[in-house]
């Protein structure tokens, strides 16, 4: 399954290693070495998945992920954090800002490629294309592009992770989830 993947990593050797492994797995890969270039590249050519370092020289990876999740054009792009920040609080922040996975350096290039492939399989082809705009189940209303949730007309404030979990469960209503 060939996909366009954007690797955002300021360490040139590591970015090249990750890109090489992903290309060998059949993917099309672009590299950005800082957050500003990553955001510009995403606007220019929307990737199917972003591998995102947290500690970038200009904009943190957490902030890049936040910006992706806030925009209706990019909110559905899967993001995998790839970082040396291994503390539990860092992983929690990563998931709260909207990361789909969190891989700690040093890592196995093979495992990273398999994680990327697993996420791409899960989101399926065209995951970044327009999906349902508003999902309603009874009194629950989920405005997907706006990341807005209402129950009986009252707005519910959720973190990015809580929103994604609710959307995942609501879009699979009636089915058992692991």
The pLDDT confidence band at residue 137, using thresholds 50, 70 and 90, is confident
Q: Output the pLDDT for position 178.
A: 67
- Within 8 A by CB and 6+ apart from 51, the residues are 5, 6, 7, 8, 9, 18, 80, 82, 112, 116
Q: Output the pLDDT for position 130.
A: 46
Q: For 111-138, what is the mean pLDDT?
A: 74
Q: For 8-13, what is the mean pLDDT?
A: 96
- What's the pLDDT tens digit per position in 29-81? 999 999 999 999 999 999 999 999 999 999 999 999 999 999 888 999 999 99
Percent of the chain with pLDDT over 90: 57
Q: What is the 3-state secondary structure (H, E, C) of the chain?
A: CCCEEEEECCCHHHHHHHHHHHHHCCCEEEEECCHHHHHHHHHHCCCCEEEECCCCCCCCHHHHHHHHHHCCCCCCCCEEEEECCCCHHHHHHHHHCCCCEEEECCCCHHHHHHHHHHHHHHHCCCCCCCCCCEEEECCEEEECCCCEEEECCEEECCCHHHHHHHHHHHHCCCCCCC
Task: Report the residue count for the chain.
Answer: 178
The segment with the largest mean pLDDT, out of 54-58, 124-128, 165-169, 171-175, is 54-58
């Amino acid at each position: 399954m060939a996909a366009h993947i954007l690797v955002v990593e300021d360490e040139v050797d590591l970015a090249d290693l990750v890109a090489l492994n992903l290309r060998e797995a059949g993917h099309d890969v672009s590299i950005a070495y800082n957050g500003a270039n990553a955001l510009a590249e995403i606007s220019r050519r929307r990737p199917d998945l972003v591998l995102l370092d947290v500690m970038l020289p200009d904009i943190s990876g957490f902030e890049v992920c936040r910006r992706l999740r806030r925009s209706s054009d990019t909110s559905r792009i899967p993001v995998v954090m790839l970082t040396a920040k291994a503390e539990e609080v860092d992983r929690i922040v990563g998931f709260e800002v909207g990361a789909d996975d969190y891989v700690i350096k040093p890592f196995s290039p093979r495992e990273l490629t398999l994680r990327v492939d697993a996420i791409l399989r899960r989101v399926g082809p065209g995951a970044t294309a327009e999906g349902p705009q508003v999902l309603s189940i009874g009194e629950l209303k989920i405005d997907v592009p706006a990341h807005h949730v209402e129950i009986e007309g009252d707005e519910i404030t959720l973190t990015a992770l809580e929103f994604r979990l609710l959307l995942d469960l609501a879009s699979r209503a009636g089915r058992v989830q692991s």
